[in-house]
């Protein structure tokens, strides 16, 4: 290995080790939350690996070394809202990793310090300290970013230990008894970017503290009560702010004062370096009549006023609206007040963004106002707006207006309305949560890109609307729409939100017409899971899952009842049950195939013959069951008597006999079982009488040479009367009808009834033939072998 190689190797090893260490430390993050469980002591069962421990909002009054000694990994300890009165910070000396300690909202009156402290975040605010809890050891906390303090007495010297530090934010909470012996200069040494001072609540402001910490760019003051104009020293405090040229962010909250004083505060701030001014939670009383305001020379860009409680009906408000309307700033917010109106600025206004949400403004706001031509954003959310046509008219002169939020009002748009004069510049329009219907689509800003109409009363998007070629995002969720829109009129649509509507069978055309779509949210609709839905489900399955939001979880069948709750993803229907034409074709094809098979079977395998055989066989079985056997068995010695022509004797001897006798069937042949001294006819009759059945092997020869005996016999004896079924005819060869002499009535009638067994030519059919024949004659006979033998002898 060369030297470079080995150093690269070392580097890689070290790098891997660092990675492993990062991995392990991330892995070992252990947050233990024991807040709000009524603890009075630190529990003993804390895991040693704990890195963050939250024991806030309990009743703990003491913290000892042994309580947390073993938590050597502890980095964050939150003990706010407890009852700790005294803390010796050296109890934390073994928790060397500790960098975040929150002891706010306790009852701390004193702390003892320890030299090795090095916190990033130390919060001792909202405690019972008299003097500032700053030890000289704080000097070492070079990492400190946040310091929370509380005191009732401030002294410049107390601040000295932290003077060298560069802190991001200091929170200073002044106790209820603050103010008696004030050192106004005490904050001058503080070196922080952001300072938040909480004055004692419920106490008239008569402090002279200089809050203009020279390094702060951001200042927040809480709890300012100025009701008695002559006693209030707050103006003096504000005047000092001019000394700090860095200050740009100013926040006031929890203000209780008069209208006059409030406007006075605004006027003062107007002439400082402050750029962003925010006032929240204001309670105003008194009246305001002057409308004079000096707008000159301001640095202010943004003014936000949130949550004002006042009696608006106490005096005419127009002076206040006038002061507000003519402000020469860019951003202005008044929200959560009971403001009922706002005037049009009396000259060209620099307003860019106006937020008047959550007030009581009506349709007359900025009516015919020509001085808001620079305005880009107007938020009128949550007011008392009623007729959309008035708002449309209002925007008319706002030539730069790009974004308008008129959501959460009671806006409607009349069917018959013809005035449609939206400002052409509008790009974002939020009309959600109103009572708009389908007719709103008749009048929309032509260049709108983002349109929010969710939570209205829209039932369908009319086909005949003006083209919105720029529309990219459409939100029509929570309406009563029955189908997805077509993109014919919104050719750029890329985001569609249409969940929570009444869409039961969405048309799949959507995906064809809206080919620019990259996100659709259509869940929570009452989908009807029938054949029509399959195409939609198939299309949705084809587009990528990032496009379909909420898929598959929020897409479920609503009807029919049997599918209710089934995710569309799992809903399947066979193509056959959904396509009538296909169904008919399939049935037709099946029938055709069956016919073909049957025909084929008939032609090539003589199916009718088999059927006849099977039919005969079953008939025989049935009859056999009905024969009164006992009676028969007494007189019978043979299963069958066989009569045939000499021409056919080869077949009888080599086929018929072997096949029957191998099954133990006894056969009587008149020449074999011949009784000497009797005529042939007598012998035949003897045989017939002792046999269960008589078999005639029919062939043209047989008809010519043998049948004559039987015709005669049948004529005289009634032995084979109709229906006695003792006859079995085997048709060995076909006998043409004409070759039967006309005197053979019996034969003719037998042949006509076709009650014969045909001897099949095909060898494959012989098995069935024999089985059938045997079944016809097989009956259990009494063992009369002796007698038979006797006859044979």
Residues that bind ligand NAG (CB under 6 A): 301-302, 330-331, 353, 377, 381, 405, 407-408, 430, 432-433, 450, 452
Least distance CB 173 / ligand NAG (angstroms) = 29
Least distance CB 295 / ligand NAG (angstroms) = 17
Element (H, E) at 623: helix 607-626
Closest CB to ligand NAG among residues 430, 691: 430
Least distance CB 364 / ligand NAG (angstroms) = 22
Q: Residue 116 phi/psi, 5° resolution?
A: -90, 5
Please enumerate in sequence order all residues whose Cβ is within 8 A of that of 211, keeping only pairs 6 or more positions apart, or say none: 187, 195, 197, 219, 221, 237, 240, 241
Least distance CB 453 / ligand NAG (angstroms) = 10
Rounded to 5°, the CA angle 174-179-184 comes to 90
Least distance CB 88 / ligand NAG (angstroms) = 46
Strands, E assignment, 108-191: 110-112, 121-123, 146-151, 167-174
Closest CB to ligand NAG among residues 81, 454: 454
Least distance CB 310 / ligand NAG (angstroms) = 25
Q: Is 374 helix (H, G, I), strand (E, B) or coil?
A: coil
Element (H, E) at 695: strand 691-698
Least distance CB 408 / ligand NAG (angstroms) = 5
- A 10 A CB-CB count for 403 gives 17
- A 10 A CB-CB count for 655 gives 16
Least distance CB 403 / ligand NAG (angstroms) = 9
Closest CB to ligand NAG among residues 330, 784: 330
* Short-list 343, 428, 422, CA closest to 379: 428
Closest CB to ligand NAG among residues 301, 399: 301
Closest CB to ligand NAG among residues 186, 333: 333
Length of the chain: 793
Closest CB to ligand NAG among residues 102, 405: 405
Residue 554: Cβ-neighbour burial (10 angstroms; 0-12, 13-18, 19+)? middle
CB contact at 8 A, 362 and 372: no
Closest CB to ligand NAG among residues 407, 616: 407
Least distance CB 407 / ligand NAG (angstroms) = 3
CB contact at 8 A, 336 and 358: yes
CB contact at 8 A, 487 and 493: yes
Closest CB to ligand NAG among residues 90, 302: 302
CA dihedral (257, 258, 262, 264) positive or negative? negative
* Short-list 356, 329, 353, CA closest to 275: 329
Closest CB to ligand NAG among residues 242, 377: 377
Least distance CB 511 / ligand NAG (angstroms) = 24
Closest CB to ligand NAG among residues 253, 381: 381
Closest CB to ligand NAG among residues 329, 781: 329
Q: HSE (CB half, 13 Å, CA atoms) of 310?
A: 31
Least distance CB 427 / ligand NAG (angstroms) = 11
Residue 417: Cβ-neighbour burial (10 angstroms; 0-12, 13-18, 19+)? middle
Least distance CB 241 / ligand NAG (angstroms) = 19
CA dihedral (769, 771, 774, 779) positive or negative? negative
Least distance CB 463 / ligand NAG (angstroms) = 25
Spatial separation of the C-alpha atoms in residues 541 and 546, rounded to whole Å: 11
Closest CB to ligand NAG among residues 377, 460: 377
Closest CB to ligand NAG among residues 85, 377: 377
* Short-list 84, 74, 80, CA closest to 119: 74
Least distance CB 353 / ligand NAG (angstroms) = 4
Element (H, E) at 701: helix 700-705
Spatial separation of the C-alpha atoms in residues 374 and 352, rounded to whole Å: 6
Closest CB to ligand NAG among residues 330, 504: 330
Spatial separation of the C-alpha atoms in residues 503 and 492, rounded to whole Å: 23
Spatial separation of the C-alpha atoms in residues 669 and 661, rounded to whole Å: 12
Least distance CB 376 / ligand NAG (angstroms) = 8
* Short-list 89, 131, 126, CA closest to 106: 126
What angle, rounded to 10 degrees, do the helices at 766-777 and 607-626 form? 10
Closest CB to ligand NAG among residues 274, 533: 274
CB contact at 8 A, 708 and 722: no
* Short-list 383, 258, 263, 232, CA closest to 310: 258
């Amino acid at each position: 290995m060369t030297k470079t190689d080995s150093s690269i190797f070392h580097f890689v090893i070290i790098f891997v080790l660092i990675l492993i260490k990062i991995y392990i430390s991330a892995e070992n993050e252990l947050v233990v939350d024991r807040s709000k469980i009524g603890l009075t002591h630190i529990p003993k069962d804390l895991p040693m690996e704990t890195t963050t421990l939250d024991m806030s909002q309990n009743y703990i009054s003491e913290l000892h070394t042994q309580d947390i000694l073993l938590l050597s990994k502890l980095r964050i300890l939150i003990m706010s809202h407890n009852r700790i009165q005294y803390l010796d910070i050296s109890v934390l000396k073994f928790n060397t990793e500790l960098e975040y300690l929150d002891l706010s909202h306790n009852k701390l009156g004193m702390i003892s310090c320890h030299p090795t402290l090095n916190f990033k975040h130390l919060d001792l605010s909202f405690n019972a300290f008299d003097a500032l809890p700053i030890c000289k050891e704080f000097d070492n906390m070079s990492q400190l970013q946040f310091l929370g303090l509380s005191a009732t007495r401030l002294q410049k010297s107390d601040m000295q230990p932290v003077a060298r530090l560069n802190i991001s934010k200091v929170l200073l909470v002044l106790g209820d008894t603050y103010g008696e012996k004030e050192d106004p200069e005490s904050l001058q040494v503080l070196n922080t970017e952001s300072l938040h001072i909480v004055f004692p609540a419920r106490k008239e402001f008569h402090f002279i503290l200089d809050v203009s910490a020279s390094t702060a760019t951001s200042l927040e003051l809480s709890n300012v009560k100025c009701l008695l104009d002559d006693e209030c020293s707050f103006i003096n405090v504000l005047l000092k702010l001019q000394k700090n040229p860095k200050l740009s962010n100013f926040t006031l909250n929890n203000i209780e004062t008069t209208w006059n004083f409030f406007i006075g505060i605004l006027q003062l701030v107007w002439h400082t370096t402050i750029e962003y001014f925010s006032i929240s939670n204001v309670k105003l009383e008194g009246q305001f009549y002057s409308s004079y305001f000096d707008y000159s020379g301001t640095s202010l860009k943004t003014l936000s006023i949130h949550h004002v409680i006042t009696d608006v009906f106490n005096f005419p408000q127009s002076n206040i609206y006038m002061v507000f309307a003519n402000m020469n700033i860019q951003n202005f917010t008044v929200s959560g007040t009971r403001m009922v109106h706002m005037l049009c600025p009396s000259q060209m206004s620099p307003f860019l963004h106006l937020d008047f949400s959550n007030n009581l403004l009506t349709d007359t706001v900025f009516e015919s106002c020509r001085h808001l031509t620079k305005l880009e954003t107007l938020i009128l959310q949550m007011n008392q707006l009623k007729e959309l046509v008035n708002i449309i008219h209002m925007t008319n002169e706002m030539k730069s207006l790009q974004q308008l939020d008129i959501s959460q009002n009671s806006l409607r748009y009349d069917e018959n309305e013809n005035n449609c004069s939206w400002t052409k510049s509008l790009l974002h329009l939020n009309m959600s949560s109103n009572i708009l219907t389908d007719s709103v689509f008749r009048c929309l800003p032509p260049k709108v890109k983002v349109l929010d109409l969710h939570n209205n009363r829209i039932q369908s998007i009319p086909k005949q609307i003006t083209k919105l070629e720029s529309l990219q995002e459409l939100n029509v969720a929570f309406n009563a729409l029955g189908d997805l829109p077509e993109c014919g009129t919104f050719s750029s649509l890329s985001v569609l939100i249409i969940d929570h509507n009444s869409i039961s069978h969405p048309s799949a055309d959507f995906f064809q017409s809206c080919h620019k779509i990259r996100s659709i949210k259509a869940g929570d609709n009452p989908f009807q899971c029938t054949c029509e839905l399959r195409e939609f489900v198939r299309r949705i399955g084809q587009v990528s899952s990032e496009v379909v939001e909420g898929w598959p979880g929020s897409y479920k069948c609503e009807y029919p009842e049997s599918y209710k709750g089934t995710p569309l993803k799992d809903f399947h229907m066979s193509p056959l049950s959904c396509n009538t034409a296909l169904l008919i074709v399939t049935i037709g094809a099946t029938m055709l195939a069956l016919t073909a098979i049957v025909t084929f079977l008939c032609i090539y395998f003589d199916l009718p013959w088999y059927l006849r055989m099977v039919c005969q066989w079953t008939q025989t079985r049935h009859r056999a069951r009905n024969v009164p056997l006992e009676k028969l068995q007494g007189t019978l010695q043979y299963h069958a008597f066989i009569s045939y022509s000499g021409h056919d004797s080869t077949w009888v001897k080599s086929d018929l006999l072997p096949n029957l006798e191998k099954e133990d069937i006894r056969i009587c042949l008149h020449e074999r079982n011949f009784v000497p001294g009797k005529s042939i006819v007598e012998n035949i009759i003897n045989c017939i009488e002792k046999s269960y059945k008589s078999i005639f092997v029919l062939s043209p020869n047989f008809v010519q040479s043998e049948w004559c005996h039987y015709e005669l016999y049948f004529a005289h004896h009634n032995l084979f009367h109709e229906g006695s079924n003792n006859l079995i005819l085997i048709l060995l060869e076909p006998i043409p009808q004409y070759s039967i002499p006309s005197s053979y009535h019996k034969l003719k009638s037998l042949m006509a009834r076709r009650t014969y067994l045909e001897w099949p030519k095909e060898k494959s059919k012989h098995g069935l033939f024999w089985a059938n024949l045997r079944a016809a004659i097989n009956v259990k006979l009494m063992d009369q072998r002796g007698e038979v033998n006797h006859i044979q002898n």
